[in-house]
Structure 1
Amino acid sequence: MIFGIGTDVCDIRRIRRSVERHGERFAERILGPQEMAVWRARSARWPERGLRYLATRFSAKESFSKAIGLGMVSPMAWSLCEIVNQPSGQPAIVLHGALKEWFEARRLHAHITVTDETDYAATFVVVEHLTTPP
């Protein structure tokens, strides 16, 4: 059964301005440890690709927070939600700490898709309530 749906469109130019204004501090506020490592590696090699990565993660976390119905209110926190790529390249949500506990206590499971094109990143999240174990 569907618990919630969230979507977000992010202007990559806005993310670029935030990084120019705040530097790495902006990324540190948004990204978890695994994401931060990927962002640094991509930014070092292809700065534009690093910005796109950061924008998709920002957008994905916005979508996820909408799908679970919390917005950016505890236990939802930027760093407790990471969007990682599985070996196939498919994105997946990995939760930590209080957010993971909250999510698991409700027997929820999330599906996510991310995309970017020129100036925009877009994401879509469906959270379902599991009636049987995954």
Structure 2
Amino acid sequence: MIYGIGTDICDVRRIRASLERHGDRFAEKVLAEGELAAWRARSARWPERGVRYLATRFSAKEAFSKAIGMGMRMPMTWRSCEVAKLPSGQPVIVLHGALKTWFEERGLHCHLSVTDESDYAASFCVVERAAPALPATAPAQA
């Protein structure tokens, strides 16, 4: 059963301006530890890839926060929500701390899609609640 749907589009130029204005502090506020390491590596090789990486993570976290109906308020925080990749390249949400507990207590599961183009990053998120188990029925009498 669908619990919530969230979508977000992010102007990459706005993220670039925030980085120019606030430096690494902006990325450190938005990215979890694993994401921060990937962002630094990408930024060192090709700064524009780093900006787009940060924009996609920003967009994905916004979409996720909308799908769970919380926005950016506790227990949802930028750093407690991480966007990782499966070996196939599929993006996944990895949660930490109180947000992970909150999410698991509700039996929720997330599906995420992330994309970027030169000026925009966009994300779409569907959060599902596992259907309750059907009651066991007695076997038919012969």
Shorter-chain-normalised TM-score: which range?
over 0.9
* Bigger Cα Rg: 2
CA RMSD, aligned part only? 1.0
Structure 2 residue runs of 5 or longer lacking an equivalent are 134-142
SS at match of 1:78: coil
Q: TM-score, normalised by structure 2?
A: 0.92
Q: Which has the higher helix share?
A: 1
2:130 is matched with 130
Deviations 1:3-32 (A, max 9, x none): 000000000000000000000000000000
Distance 1:26 1:73 in 2: 18
**1:17-96 matched pairs, under 5 angstroms:** 17-96=17-96
Identical positions, percent: 70
SS at match of 2:79: helix
1:108 is matched with 108
Deviations 1:44-95 (A, max 9, x none): 0010000000000000000000000000010000000000011111100000
Q: Return structure 1 stretches of 4+ with deviation > 2 angstroms.
A: none
| Count of residues in Structure 1 that have an aligned counterpart in Structure 2 | 133
**1:6-25 matched pairs, under 5 angstroms:** 6-25=6-25
Structure 1 residue runs of 5 or longer lacking an equivalent are none
